[in-house]
Amino acid sequence: MYIKIFAVGGTIDKVYFDQKNSYQVGEPKIREILEEANVTFEYDVEPLLSKDSLDMTDTDRDLIYNKVKADPNPLIVITHGTDTMVMTAQHLEGIEGRTIVLTGSMQPARFRSSDATFNIGCAIAAVQTLPKGVYIAMNGRVFRPQEVHKNVDRGIFEII
């Protein structure tokens, strides 16, 4: 089994930058997480963007769409910022013949208390078991893009 992973930034890849509590999006953390987990499937991580999802544009979403559509792999995971993850997932719904799962985290993966590792594990399991389509894996659940939103106050994804 082979899983293609596209990394586009977001909190999951943020790095503490200075004493003013600012962060910048760094290198994709998912490769390190999968190595530490000692996974036995083959995968490739392709960084596409290093952006906070609030800074993503329609052009960025088109880039993600075109890269996913052009990739021959049927199993795709995308690490993405949580604020506009639903928008990107909806943008990808026209791609057929693939199982595509977007995930991210509310805290940077570099933080001990981050939800990143758990969400990545859920996304990896989901991409292997779900039928073709586009999904979001967050907070221990899997959602369809048209049925979910991020509840900013509670810091979770939930059914609309």
The pair of structure tokens assigned to 12 is 């999951």
**Contact criterion met (CB below 8 Å) for 116 and 107:** yes
Express each pLDDT in 55-110 by its tens digit.
Answer: 999 999 999 999 999 999 999 999 999 999 999 999 999 999 999 999 998 766 66
**Mean pLDDT in the chain?**
90
Express each pLDDT in 11-51 by its tens digit.
Answer: 777 665 555 555 555 677 888 889 999 999 999 999 999 88
The domain segmentation of the chain, as residue ranges, is 2-159
**CATH match for 2-159 among 3.40.50.2020, 3.30.360.10, 3.40.50.1170, 3.40.50.460:** 3.40.50.1170
Residue type, 15: V
Q: Phi and psi for 15 in degrees, rounded to 5? A: -125, 135
Alpha helices in the chain (DSSP H): 30-36, 58-70, 85-92, 116-129
